[in-house]
Amino acid sequence: MVHEARRHLVLIHGGGVGPWMWRKQVEHFAGDFVVHTPTLPGHDPRASRDFTTNRDAAQSVADQVDLSSLQGDVAVVGFSIGGQVAIELAQLFPDRVDRLGVVSSLVAPMAGSSVLAIMSSWATPLASNERFARAQAKQLYIGDDDFDDYFAVSQALTHLTMMAMLTANFSFRPGDTLFSSPLPTLTFAGSREQKSLVRGMQHLAERMPAGSFELVEGVGHGIPLARPDAFNARLGEWLGERRGVNRAPIRG
């Protein structure tokens, strides 16, 4: 199937959430783009496939959106581990990805990543506890309207998916070929996120020949949900959105 030549926007959700996290972005960009919101492996309550690696997840995204058949520009934007998957997608398909957006992703391996993954995965049973899930949802700026969707994903996450996802997240490093690429790249981080993540997003943008970095004041992990209007405006400007927006920093 060959798609009509149009501008495409692929939005990749983070770990433990789902495509529904992009509702405000879909509403905003649907007039100017064909918006695709694929589901990461292990995050579909109706499917049994586990998450294995970021590369496998990138291939899954490519298959879901029929990347090889898309006609026109393709921008890929990912949040958290979805940002890592977006980077993998750009590396796997450099001739198909025209713009790369990375929101609040780790881009350097953490010391003791395997131990961190094991320890973090011990919390998997808690994901099915509604009180724990509500506390986590609050940290991610997930509102009451989206909680049922969030809780359904939390209950569907298996221990294998959690282990693989955490291992991939804590050990991720972009390939060297990315940094010699002219790929326009925009990175975001919240000022209240862990400092290593903020530095990583800034350094990634600095190392890219066509990179830029946006620090969002007063926000932790969850920029697209916490500041959807400001996030959409900055992303839309960078994408060359037809409606046009005035350049202004995102404030808390």
Q: How far is the C-alpha of 220 from the C-alpha of 210, rounded, in Å?
A: 26
Give the phi and the psi of residue 170 in degrees, each rounded to 5: -75, -20
As a dihedral over the C-alpha atoms of residue 220, residue 150, residue 164, residue 47, rounded to 10 degrees, the angle is -160
Whether the pLDDT of residue 147 is over 70: the answer is yes
pTM strictly above 0.85: yes
Distance of CA 220 to the CA centre of its chain: 15
Q: Are 224 and 189 in contact (CB under 8 A)?
A: no
Over residues 19-68, the pLDDT tens digits come to 999 999 999 999 999 999 999 999 998 887 899 999 999 999 999 999 99
Q: Which strand (E) or helix (H) includes residue 238?
A: helix 228-239
Q: How far is the C-alpha of 219 from the C-alpha of 191, rounded, in Å?
A: 6
Model confidence at 251, in pLDDT bands (50, 70, 90)? very low
**CATH number of 8-109+172-239, picked from 3.40.225.10, 1.10.287.810, 3.40.1280.10, 3.40.50.1820:** 3.40.50.1820
Contacts of 118 (CB under 8 A, 6+ apart): 163
Q: Are 100 and 86 in contact (CB under 8 A)?
A: yes
Over residues 85-124, the pLDDT tens digits come to 999 999 999 999 999 999 999 999 875 545 444 444 445 5
